[in-house]
Homo-oligomer: A and B are copies of this chain.
Amino acid sequence: MARLSIVTDNPRPASRPERSAKAEQTRQTIIDAAMRLFRTHGYDKATMRAIADEAGVSIGNAYYYFSSKEHLIQAYYDGINAEHAERAAATLATATTFADRLTGVLLAWVDVAEPYHEFAGKFFKNAAEPSSPLSPFSADSEATRVAAIDLHRQVIDGSDIKLAKALRAELPELLWLLQMGVVLFWVHDTSDGQRRTRQLVEQAVPVVDRALRLTRIPGVRGLVDDVVGLVRTIKPTAG
């Protein structure tokens, strides 16, 4: 797995000095220890005490770097996302049609996330709470969310699809929502290799593609405007 991109949970002003090299190393040590324990012993056994122990630091020290266990898990989550972005970029470099590009991006996520499926449920549980920093709708996740939405903008922009301007502007966010739906399905998917989730993606994408191409016919255009209006009304302050 690619190197993790670590998200500072309390981002400082850019003017402040950087963290020392040693501190950065300790931080990474803790994350590595956490990853190791999650993989080998599962979510429940990977207690903050065990992680700190594995990393060779005190509990308090672990909390100096990560203000909660959830923030520590978020480093994990960020790692998955970083690898997804990487693989998705590879797909986007070759695929040209909208359907192929979207399928590629969604399946890349399923591929990358597969090793974590076992404890994804536990992770998901924490992410579901609105006040949790792990929630995909939270302020803490904004950077990740924006990046993911931008990925879908690339899916659209690099493709052959023709869309009304207003729809094109809102579609990346809607596709991200679709991805969240896929994740929801994936979490509940117990088939091996998450076969059914892949099936869902492969069947759903052509439907989406077809629906989008229908947006240009007269009777449907008004509906599209309504949908765009709805999204715009609902978006600003809440997820």
Query: Which of A29-37, A57-65, A160-168, A217-225 interfaces with chain B?
Result: A217-225
Q: Is the CB of A169 closer than 8 A to any CB of chain B?
A: no
* A208–B187 CA distance with the chains assembled, in angstroms: 27
Q: Are B125 and A196 in contact (CB under 8 A)?
A: no
Chain A residues bordering chain B, tally (CB within 8 A): 43
Q: Is the CB of A199 closer than 8 A to any CB of chain B?
A: yes
Q: Are A207 and B233 in contact (CB under 8 A)?
A: no
Q: Are B121 and A130 in contact (CB under 8 A)?
A: yes
- Known A-B contacts A121-B129, A131-B121, A188-B137; the reply to A223 vs B234 at CB < 8 A is no
What is the 8 Å Cβ interface bit string for chain A, positions 212-233, against chain B (1 contact, 0 not)?
A: 0010010110110011011001
Q: How far is the CB of A64 from chain B (nearest CB, A)?
A: 24
Q: Are B122 and A129 in contact (CB under 8 A)?
A: yes
In the A-B complex, list the 8 residue pairs whose CB atoms are closest, starting with the nearest: A128-B128, A125-B129, A121-B130, A188-B239, A207-B226, A130-B188, A203-B230, A121-B129
Measured CB to CB, the residues of A under 8 A from B are 121-122, 124-132, 135, 137, 185, 187-191, 196, 199-200, 203-204, 206-207, 210-211, 214, 217, 219-220, 222-223, 226-227, 229-230, 233-234, 237-239
Given A121-B130, A191-B238, A206-B226, 8 more pairs with CB closer than 8 A: A127-B128, A128-B129, A135-B188, A185-B234, A203-B234, A204-B230, A207-B223, A207-B226
